[in-house]
Amino acid sequence: MSDTNTLTALSNGLADTVEAAGQSIVRVDARDRMPATGIVWSADGLIVTSHHVVQRDDSISVGLPDGSAVAATLVGRDPTTDVALLQADASGFTPASWVDASDLKVGHLVLALGRPGRTVQATLGVVSALGDAWRTGAGGAIDRYLQTDVVMYAGFSGGPLVNVAGRVAGLNSSALARGVSVTLPAATVRRVVETLLAHGKVRRGYLGVSTQRVRLPDTLVEQLGQETGLLIGAVVPDSPAERAGLFLGDTIVAVAGEPVRHHDDLLAKLSGDRVGQPVPIRIVRGGQVSDVAVVVGERE
């Protein structure tokens, strides 16, 4: 096959992928400026999109692939992962087919798709970086770091990143990182959607402290088997931490028996299932190690 024929076949294949995947992509009108994009989650009209593009809780509409539009209601949202779930007032949708990010490799071709208008738009790029689990600036847990070099035009947020087979590897969002195209992997989207369906929100634990990472004295390093902990720099009045007797200057070194070496460790221990439950927190106060039981609150 000649180079021209090879490129033509590739071009036609990508166009076919966009056309097929476009049947599972909708326009989301939920803000005053440009509409955004959503991904069909289920045949009965569940639509997953980005939280930051849903700027009102009512008067939401969804534009369908056939050009028509239907009303939609907000099921729930999670600002920390920038995910929102809508229920369209219609059925018979074509759900997207998802693929785990573990099937991707750096260098794989991918497409970012959007439907900010009546028709599907697409940009082509490659997977530029894959990494471990991470947390957003708001504390949301992301199962894997997935970065591409695709250009996300205005209105692409809430749309899919698809592989060359048209399967959705994740949800694109312009709100997760500045100047970088970062995608929420399928595993994260699935987990958040399931939680929103069950509770309407993602519950987050709350202590009411601000902390900074500090190195522990050598004697404590040897005793505890860790080099760092979290020094409490402020305690919110009437917070779970204050009610439990935590003070400015205490250093948190463990929660529920697991070491806390940096802020992400603490966030990971404050999962929603611990809200309202007493959790043992190990602290260092005046050079002495002690345990304090804190009833975890819920972050608003």
Q: Which residues contact 56 (CB under 8 A, 6 or more apart)?
A: 30, 31
Residue 78's alpha-carbon distances to 32, 57, 194, 200, in angstroms, are 20, 13, 12, 9
Known catalytic residue: 82?
yes
Q: Which of 157, 173, 174, 181 is catalytic?
A: 157
Report the distance separating Cα 140 and Cα 281, nearest Å: 22
Which of 69, 73, 62, 70 minimizes the C-alpha distance to 38?
Answer: 62
Q: Which of 24, 29, 51, 82 is catalytic?
A: 82
Quickly tell me which residue has 């847990």 as its tokens. 141
Q: Which of 52, 173, 250, 265 is catalytic?
A: 52
Report the distance separating Cα 255 and Cα 283, nearest Å: 9
Known catalytic residue: 52?
yes
Known catalytic residue: 157?
yes
DSSP string, 178-195: TTSEEEEEHHHHHHHHHH
Are 210 and 233 in contact, with CB atoms under 8 Å apart?
A: yes
Q: Which residues are catalytic?
A: 52, 82, 157
